[in-house]
Amino acid sequence: MKISKISLWSLDLTSHETYYMAEGKTCDTVESHVLCLETDTGHQGWGEVCPIPRYLPAYAKGVPSAVSEMAEGLLGVEPLGVDAVMRSLDALLPGHFYAKSIVDIALWDLFGRLTGLPLYTLLGGRTRTDMPVYHSITCIEPDEMARIAASAFQSGVRQFQVKLGTDANWEADAERLIKVRETVGSAPLVYGDWNCGASRLHATRTGRAVAHLDIMLEQPCKTLEDCAAVRQATGLPMKIDENAFDTVSLLRASELGCLDAVALKLSKFGGLSVMRRARDLCVHLGAEICAECTWGSDIVTAASLHFAASTPKGSLLNTCDLSSYVSPRLCPDAPSRNMGRIAPPEGAGLGVTPDRDLLGSPIIELV
């Protein structure tokens, strides 16, 4: 059995509302890619990747070229043994982890379908029935952010990511955090995320203004050293996101004392294969894990959910149902959140299959 065909689709995902982050980053309509690896026996594996513009060293237009470059390391290859295939692709195309993540996810899906097992079993075994989701609140006026938090709270959500920094005003950022905290009460998790868009001083002033509340900060500054300085100056726990992308960066964040929590994102690490190793290290270091990706619809969400469901007990902070923020939904059989929690799809592999009519014609077909 060999991989005999590679198909790639491009489609636009539109956020239900424009999503604002620091330094002018936005998510409105973003290009996503969907990949299908097919074997000569007719089995298929699906992957997805959706980079956000100006967010990480990744861009949507690079995916088709990278997939074409990797084709010689995929066509005619035995798909069982995902790590071996991905290591060969690392030699063929160094770097470009975001583009490799779409291939890696498809290989794992194919592996699961061939064995008849769900991905959470292959990734270490299911450790929980379902997982808490966090709700990400776009950075707009504080009162409107509080209204969004109230609506999400009523739906059962108990973890809230508050985007900060669009107006470079530390007092406004403090007001955003205070109003969301007041709205949802004292028990839920609330954390403020600048996506690297704050100076050390800005983040420290904001953190000290809310230090009387139970608040966590997420990646305020562009470097781990500055994030660690904010952690020390405010005494508030810190979640690292953009600066966590391999084992070296995880070890450095832990050494600096700012790795209370961490976002493990599929496209940052290059897919499930590498992220499993990162997860094991985070468990060892005592960092709680947010299992997710940068953006996307049902395929990348399903991969994140299987990863979250197999994360050891005590080490999972939350996960994110990215597909709930965008349209279209690609897979009619994909799960949705229920009372602030979500379960991984059932069935072999990812447990979801995209609607081919919705995908339309592929932009690349390689045999």
Q: Which residues are catalytic?
A: 163, 265
Q: Cα dist. 118→123, 346, 352 in Å?
A: 9, 7, 11
DSSP 217: E
DSSP per residue over 68-85, as a string?
A: HHHGGGTTT---S-HHHH
Using only C-alpha atoms, the chain has a radius of gyration, in whole angstroms, of 20
The alpha carbon dihedral of 50, 56, 57, 61 has a sign of positive
Sign of the alpha-carbon dihedral angle for 123, 126, 127, 133: positive
**Nearest CA among 356, 304, 296, 367 for reference residue 332:** 356
Q: Is the distance from CB of 122 to CB of 115 less than 8 angstroms?
A: yes
Choose among 274, 287, 224: nearest CA to 252: 224
Please, what sign has the CA dihedral across residues 301, 302, 305, 310?
Answer: negative
92 alpha carbon, distance to own chain's centre? 26
Q: Rounded distance, CA 157 to CA 320, Å?
A: 11
Counting Cα atoms < 13 Å in the Cβ hemisphere of 161 gives: 25
